[in-house]
Chains A and B, each alone.
Chain A
Amino acid sequence: MMNKLILGRYIPGDSLIHRLDPRAKLIASFYFIGIIFFANNWQSYLFLTLFTLGSIYLSKVDIGFFIRGVRPLLWLILFTVALQIFFTSGGEVYWRWGVFQLTEFGLRNGIFIFCRFVLIIFMSTLLTLTTPPLELSDAIEYLLRPLKAIKFPVHEISLMLSIALRFVPTLMDETEKIMNAQRARGVDFSEGNLVQKMKAVVPLLIPLFVSSFNRADDLATAMEARGYQGGEGRSKYRVLHWELRDTITIIAFVILTIGLIYLRN
């Protein structure tokens, strides 16, 4: 079930994109999602698409992964696109039925929204496929550092984030195990009506919560035993290095922005 989700997975590799500094990748991805809203004609969308495909090519990850990553969200995308297509007015009207109408603007908007969704998913998939979760949380910690000035608990947040990321697969395994154990005891997770299905989740949720509590307790004890006393005065084992290629990435995005501004009308 969860196995089908590609977004959020990491695929080890050794490409240019893999070796980039996670901070550069994180900034670039967010920046990309921001500027995608500036595109407003087909030239600019084509430009962005080519840029995305180029990045995917550089990552040496099979494009199939990305297409599969879109699949779970396909219905959401189609729903939004359909709303856009049928409820936008303006331009030439091709067809009308009650409140529904098919217009030139609607079609255009629909197609643009579709492109936007796909490109955003592609870019964020590219980020997670090529960056190990721990590097991501390091990058987030680094980028949040300015917030220390306003007493934002940066260390705590990033610690929680890296622990959470570390335990996602463990909890998934655990879920799977408990699910199997309860299925072996005659629980049916897929059958019955909504109420029955919700009831069937109880034997799964309670053990999961209990084991999370126990795990948290054990982990806290183990951390204290190893001398953890909070963020003050800690040194770092994993140090991020900003290199020339990271600067080049940022420059590439600046060029992308200039191109986009030039192409939009």
Chain B
Amino acid sequence: MDIHFEQVNFTYQPKSPFEQRVLFDIDLDIKEGSYTALVGHTGSGKSTLLQHLNALLKPTEGKVLIGDRVITPETNNKNLKPIRKKVGIVFQFPEAQLFEETVEKDIAFGPKNFGVSEEEAKVLAKENLTLVGLDDSYLERSPFDLSGGQMRRVAIAGVLAMEPEVLVLDEPTAGLDPQGRKEMMEMFERLHQEKNITIILVTHLMDDVANFADYVYVLEKGRIVKRGTPAEVFQDVAWLHEKQLGVPTAAEFAQRLIAKGVHFDSLPLTAEALADALLAQGGLAHDE
């Protein structure tokens, strides 16, 4: 399912004394099966933008095309559920959305809202709990007895159980330990590869962008200021530094090597790419 933004503008509390314009002429293209990253400063409008992806917010100008649905400022609030089923959003700190008595009920809550039967929802709950790396023994536990990381997993399982075609992740690893962070990102990558789920990732971590995304949008003050593949976007290191966005660790390190006279055909973005490039140059040369 493709998502397409056409000249989207958004203003909070329009025509009131507290009016605040957040998005300016956003054009966005998300192809089915792609892995798109949205980066930008806090307050650049990322979170507002992602609420447009499943019609939680409607543009104040312009239109959003989600699959075959068109969302315009005039769109009625009724009958948006089919969109919400197809586009699952994992919000920042999703553990705050847990409320049921047991983990199983909480995960099954989403599917049941979309008309899945009780039994099927239970099966989905079990499957998705395994998917996020927790075993069946957690099914009957109260979500409030779990650790923060486990709660996060349950919350994500709750979104995955709706079997969305598009998965929107708003800083899914914020506040997790490095191991949990790695596992989580690898899980999303697996879903992307195996189930061909379209992923939209909002993040501050340029390493994740370099490792996983195939397209990047850079937002600044509500405008898209750069777009392209990670290789294109991260090429301009000086520009990124100027915007205080940073570059992936590998690229940062490669920069230092360049300063010392090493030549790269293109700036390596991941540790593997960097290692490959160095090996190709006969990295062991000075051992002779």
B-binding residues in A (CB < 8 A):
3-4, 6, 9, 11, 62, 64-65, 68, 174, 177-178, 180-188, 190-191, 202-203, 206-207, 210-211
- The reply to whether B17 and A62 contact each other, CB–CB distance below 8 Å, is yes
**Bound Cα distance A6, B17 (Å):** 9
> Cβ of B99 < 8 Å from any Cβ of A?
yes
Return chain A residues, CB-CB under 8 Å to B158. 185
- The reply to whether B81 and A11 contact each other, CB–CB distance below 8 Å, is no
Please provide the chain B residues from 101 to 115 with a CB less than 8 Å away from any CB of chain A in the complex.
Answer: 109-110, 113-114
**Bound Cα distance A160, B16 (Å):** 31
Q: With contacts A181-B91, A185-B162, A211-B96 known, what are 8 further pairs, Cβ within 8 A?
A: A3-B13, A174-B96, A177-B96, A181-B96, A185-B159, A186-B113, A187-B113, A191-B78
Return chain A residues, CB-CB under 8 Å to B110. 185-186
Return chain B residues, CB-CB under 8 Å to A180. 51, 56, 89, 91
- The reply to whether B91 and A184 contact each other, CB–CB distance below 8 Å, is yes
- The reply to whether B78 and A184 contact each other, CB–CB distance below 8 Å, is no
> Cβ of B204 < 8 Å from any Cβ of A?
no
> Cβ of B46 < 8 Å from any Cβ of A?
no
- The reply to whether A207 and B17 contact each other, CB–CB distance below 8 Å, is no
- The reply to whether B98 and A207 contact each other, CB–CB distance below 8 Å, is yes
Please provide the chain B residues from 1 to 24 with a CB less than 8 Å away from any CB of chain A in the complex.
Answer: 12-13, 16-18
Return chain B residues, CB-CB under 8 Å to A191. 78
**Bound Cα distance A4, B17 (Å):** 10
- The reply to whether A4 and B16 contact each other, CB–CB distance below 8 Å, is yes
> Cβ of B84 < 8 Å from any Cβ of A?
yes
- The reply to whether A186 and B78 contact each other, CB–CB distance below 8 Å, is no
A-binding residues in B (CB < 8 A):
12-13, 16-18, 51, 54, 56, 77-78, 81, 84-85, 88-89, 91-92, 94, 96-99, 109-110, 113-114, 144, 158-159, 162
Return chain A residues, CB-CB under 8 Å to B109. 185, 203
**Bound Cα distance A65, B13 (Å):** 14
Return chain A residues, CB-CB under 8 Å to B91. 177, 180-181, 184
**Bound Cα distance A65, B18 (Å):** 10
Chain A interface, >50% SS class: helix
* Minimum-distance CB pairs A-B, first 9: A186-B113, A206-B99, A181-B97, A185-B110, A184-B89, A181-B91, A203-B99, A186-B114, A3-B13
Give A177 Cβ to nearest chain B Cβ, in Å: 6
Residue of A nearest to B87 (CB): A184
CB < 8 Å neighbour of A186 from B51, B81, B92? B81
Return chain A residues, CB-CB under 8 Å to B159. 184-185
Q: Contacts A3-B16, A183-B84 given; indicate if A202 touches B99 (C-beta within 8 A).
A: yes
**Bound Cα distance A6, B18 (Å):** 10
Return chain B residues, CB-CB under 8 Å to A207. 96-99
- The reply to whether B81 and A178 contact each other, CB–CB distance below 8 Å, is no
Return chain B residues, CB-CB under 8 Å to A202. 99
CB < 8 Å neighbour of B88 from A6, A9, A184, A190? A184
Most buried by B among A11, A186, A206: A186
**Bound Cα distance A62, B19 (Å):** 15
- The reply to whether B94 and A181 contact each other, CB–CB distance below 8 Å, is yes
**Bound Cα distance A191, B98 (Å):** 22
Return chain B residues, CB-CB under 8 Å to A3. 12-13, 16, 18
Return chain A residues, CB-CB under 8 Å to B18. 3, 9
Return chain B residues, CB-CB under 8 Å to A186. 81, 84-85, 110, 113-114, 162
- The reply to whether B77 and A190 contact each other, CB–CB distance below 8 Å, is yes
**Bound Cα distance A174, B91 (Å):** 12
Return chain A residues, CB-CB under 8 Å to B78. 191
**Bound Cα distance A64, B19 (Å):** 14
**Bound Cα distance A189, B4 (Å):** 27
Return chain B residues, CB-CB under 8 Å to A183. 56, 84
Give B180 Cβ to nearest chain A Cβ, in Å: 20
Give A196 Cβ to nearest chain B Cβ, in Å: 12
**Bound Cα distance A64, B162 (Å):** 46
Return chain B residues, CB-CB under 8 Å to A203. 97, 99, 109
Return chain A residues, CB-CB under 8 Å to B97. 178, 181-182, 185, 203, 207
Return chain A residues, CB-CB under 8 Å to B114. 186
Return chain A residues, CB-CB under 8 Å to B12. 3
Return chain A residues, CB-CB under 8 Å to B88. 184
What are 21 inter-chain pairs, A to B, with CB distance below 8 A? Answer: A3-B13, A9-B18, A11-B17, A64-B17, A174-B96, A177-B91, A177-B96, A180-B51, A180-B89, A180-B91, A181-B91, A181-B94, A184-B54, A184-B84, A185-B109, A185-B110, A191-B78, A202-B99, A207-B97, A207-B98, A211-B96
